[in-house]
Protein backbone atom coordinates (compact mmCIF):
# COMPACT_ATOMS: atom_id res chain seq x y z
CA UNK A 1 0.00 0.00 0.00
CA UNK A 2 1.35 3.40 -0.90
CA UNK A 3 1.42 6.42 1.38
CA UNK A 4 -1.00 9.13 0.40
CA UNK A 5 -0.26 12.67 1.50
CA UNK A 6 -3.21 14.45 3.01
CA UNK A 7 -2.65 18.04 4.19
CA UNK A 8 -3.22 18.55 7.93
CA UNK A 9 -6.40 20.53 7.24
CA UNK A 10 -7.72 17.81 4.93
CA UNK A 11 -7.95 17.85 1.15
CA UNK A 12 -8.65 21.16 -0.57
CA UNK A 13 -12.33 22.03 -0.88
CA UNK A 14 -13.50 23.07 -4.34
CA UNK A 15 -16.67 24.98 -5.01
CA UNK A 16 -19.62 22.62 -5.49
CA UNK A 17 -20.88 22.06 -9.04
CA UNK A 18 -23.75 24.28 -10.23
CA UNK A 19 -27.07 23.10 -8.79
CA UNK A 20 -28.68 23.81 -12.15
CA UNK A 21 -27.24 20.52 -13.41
CA UNK A 22 -29.94 18.65 -11.49
CA UNK A 23 -32.61 20.93 -12.93
CA UNK A 24 -31.38 20.16 -16.45
CA UNK A 25 -30.70 16.42 -16.13
CA UNK A 26 -33.16 15.33 -13.46
CA UNK A 27 -32.75 12.25 -11.32
CA UNK A 28 -33.25 9.79 -14.18
CA UNK A 29 -30.67 11.54 -16.37
CA UNK A 30 -28.13 11.40 -13.56
CA UNK A 31 -28.90 7.71 -12.92
CA UNK A 32 -28.49 6.93 -16.63
CA UNK A 33 -25.13 8.73 -16.67
CA UNK A 34 -23.86 6.82 -13.63
CA UNK A 35 -25.03 3.43 -14.94
CA UNK A 36 -23.22 4.18 -18.21
CA UNK A 37 -20.11 5.18 -16.26
CA UNK A 38 -20.13 2.03 -14.13
CA UNK A 39 -20.63 -0.23 -17.17
CA UNK A 40 -17.48 1.35 -18.61
CA UNK A 41 -15.62 0.95 -15.31
CA UNK A 42 -16.58 -2.73 -15.30
CA UNK A 43 -14.74 -3.17 -18.62
CA UNK A 44 -11.81 -0.89 -17.79
CA UNK A 45 -8.28 -1.50 -16.53
CA UNK A 46 -9.54 -0.71 -13.02
CA UNK A 47 -12.47 -3.15 -13.14
CA UNK A 48 -10.89 -5.08 -10.25
CA UNK A 49 -11.86 -2.17 -7.95
CA UNK A 50 -15.57 -2.57 -8.73
CA UNK A 51 -18.20 -5.32 -8.37
CA UNK A 52 -17.63 -8.14 -10.85
CA UNK A 53 -21.28 -8.84 -11.70
CA UNK A 54 -23.72 -6.78 -13.74
CA UNK A 55 -26.09 -6.71 -10.76
CA UNK A 56 -23.30 -5.54 -8.45
CA UNK A 57 -22.23 -2.81 -10.86
CA UNK A 58 -25.81 -1.58 -11.18
CA UNK A 59 -26.19 -1.46 -7.39
CA UNK A 60 -22.90 0.47 -7.09
CA UNK A 61 -23.99 2.83 -9.88
CA UNK A 62 -27.29 3.50 -8.09
CA UNK A 63 -25.48 4.28 -4.84
CA UNK A 64 -23.14 6.63 -6.69
CA UNK A 65 -26.15 8.20 -8.44
CA UNK A 66 -27.71 8.88 -5.02
CA UNK A 67 -24.56 10.85 -4.18
CA UNK A 68 -24.52 12.73 -7.50
CA UNK A 69 -28.24 13.60 -7.26
CA UNK A 70 -27.57 15.15 -3.85
CA UNK A 71 -24.35 16.87 -4.97
CA UNK A 72 -25.95 18.36 -8.08
CA UNK A 73 -28.90 19.98 -6.34
CA UNK A 74 -31.47 17.23 -5.95
CA UNK A 75 -32.91 15.70 -2.80
CA UNK A 76 -30.44 14.36 -0.18
CA UNK A 77 -30.86 10.73 -1.28
CA UNK A 78 -27.36 9.63 -0.32
CA UNK A 79 -27.60 11.02 3.21
CA UNK A 80 -31.08 9.51 3.68
CA UNK A 81 -30.07 6.02 2.47
CA UNK A 82 -26.39 5.75 3.37
CA UNK A 83 -25.53 8.46 5.91
CA UNK A 84 -22.91 11.17 5.48
CA UNK A 85 -20.82 10.83 2.29
CA UNK A 86 -17.38 10.62 4.03
CA UNK A 87 -15.81 10.07 0.60
CA UNK A 88 -12.22 9.91 1.85
CA UNK A 89 -13.08 7.28 4.47
CA UNK A 90 -15.10 5.22 1.95
CA UNK A 91 -12.20 5.17 -0.52
CA UNK A 92 -9.27 4.70 1.89
CA UNK A 93 -9.33 0.86 1.67
CA UNK A 94 -8.51 1.11 -2.04
CA UNK A 95 -5.17 1.99 -3.55
CA UNK A 96 -6.08 4.63 -6.10
CA UNK A 97 -3.09 5.36 -8.30
CA UNK A 98 -2.72 8.27 -10.70
CA UNK A 99 -3.24 5.84 -13.60
CA UNK A 100 -6.40 4.55 -11.93
CA UNK A 101 -7.65 8.07 -11.37
CA UNK A 102 -7.08 8.92 -15.03
CA UNK A 103 -8.90 5.74 -16.12
CA UNK A 104 -11.88 6.62 -13.89
CA UNK A 105 -11.97 10.12 -15.39
CA UNK A 106 -11.68 8.74 -18.95
CA UNK A 107 -14.67 6.45 -18.37
CA UNK A 108 -16.64 9.34 -16.89
CA UNK A 109 -15.80 11.64 -19.83
CA UNK A 110 -16.93 8.96 -22.30
CA UNK A 111 -20.19 8.48 -20.39
CA UNK A 112 -20.75 12.26 -20.38
CA UNK A 113 -20.23 12.36 -24.15
CA UNK A 114 -22.54 9.42 -24.80
CA UNK A 115 -25.26 10.81 -22.54
CA UNK A 116 -24.97 14.18 -24.33
CA UNK A 117 -24.24 15.99 -21.09
CA UNK A 118 -25.04 19.68 -21.53
CA UNK A 119 -21.90 21.74 -21.57
Sign (positive/negative) of CA torsion 97, 103, 109, 115?
negative
pLDDT of residue 62: 98
CATH, residue 40: 1.10.490.10
CB atoms within 10 A of CB 88: 11
pLDDT of residue 117: 80
pLDDT in tens, 77-107: 999 999 998 887 888 888 888 899 999 999 9
Listed as ranges, residues in the chain with pLDDT below 70 are: 1-7, 118-119
Asked if residue 36 is part of any domain, the answer here is yes
pTM of the model: 0.85
Distance CA 2, CA 92 (A): 11
Asked if residue 40 is part of any domain, the answer here is yes
pLDDT of residue 51: 96
Number of domains the chain contains? 1
pLDDT of residue 2: 57
Asked if residue 7 is part of any domain, the answer here is no
Amino acid sequence: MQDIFVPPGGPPQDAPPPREIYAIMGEEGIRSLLRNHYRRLGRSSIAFLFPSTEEGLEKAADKSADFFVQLLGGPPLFAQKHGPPRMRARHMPFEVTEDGRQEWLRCFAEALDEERFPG
